[in-house]
Amino acid sequence: MRALLVVNPAATTTSARTRDVLIHALASDLKLEVATTEYRGHARDLGRQAVQRGEIELVIVLGGDGTVNEVVNGLLYAGPAPEALPRLAVVPGGSTNVFARALGLPNDAVEATGALLDALNSGGERTVGLGLAAGTPGTDDAEVPSRWFTFCAGLGFDAGVVGRVEQKREGGRRSTHALYVRQVVRQFLGDPYRRRGTITLRRPGEEPVEELALSIVCNTAPWTYLGNRPVYAAPRASFDTALDVLGLTRLTPSAVTRYGTQLLTSTPERGPHGKHAVSLHDLTDFTLESQVPLPFQMDGDHLGLRTSVTFTGVRRALRVIV
């Protein structure tokens, strides 16, 4: 099988020596080409080129969720066509690796490589659904290009946390779970819209859901991990359905304490719940719009401020080796 390995050399949990060992192991079973990313968006370009060449059967990503997101957007630049496109495989190399772990892969790069080779030998694969976010026609964000996400997106509070973490990382800080927790506190203290939300969720044929202070869109469960602990914002979300949404209408200190505790103790059977929590399952088409520009993130990548984002849940978008 002819395969392309896309390597992010800045991946936080792999060393040059580890990468060399993994490359050697993969090359023993595959006709392997290796490409190292050199700039933001390079992995997307490599994924697109793999499709255009027409001879690559498998694209393997050695990196974190951001690198996976870029490759997926490159593979799907012309839209989903699962039977025609190269398959995707992931070797986790980031700090959290939500997509890989949600697929059931080990979080260790060496173990995941062994699992990948076993899956290739046994023919193990599945076709997963993905989310697509785009600018909303008729709004200031209408010209924002569409972009795929693999596990989550968020408009508002959680995206603000992601933006704060990115600023710290650009200043040389390591991405750790403690860093995220500190930025959650700072985002809470500095968020002017936490008591009265500015976000409205609109979907065809349904009444709008108004005054959301937080909106998280999930394509799978868990939503994220704190160390080895999975966190379920939308426990019913799945790669086999469309999109789920968790919205909170208040972020007062008591509400944050309540829902934060529910998130930390969430399970595959039960996520955040209560009179200020809105949980919606298996949505194919909907729009989040805000009265003011708010931070927006996809797959843990901060994408700036948005006032309106239109989401589409696309079932059976891409084949993945598992």
Report residue 129 as tokens: 């659904």
Instruction: Report percent pLDDT > 90 for the chain.
Output: 81
The model scores a pTM over 0.75: yes
Measuring CA to CA, which residue among 47, 68, 67 is closest to residue 3?
47
| Tens of pLDDT, residues 248-307 | 998 888 998 999 999 999 999 999 999 999 999 999 999 999 999 999 999 999 999 999
> Residue holding tokens 């304490």?
257
Residues with Cβ within 8 Å of residue 234, at least 6 apart in sequence: 216, 218, 221, 223, 244, 245, 246, 271, 279, 281
**What does the alpha-carbon distance between residue 242 and residue 267 come to, in Å, rounded to a whole number?**
20
Residue 145 pLDDT greater than 90, yes or no:
yes
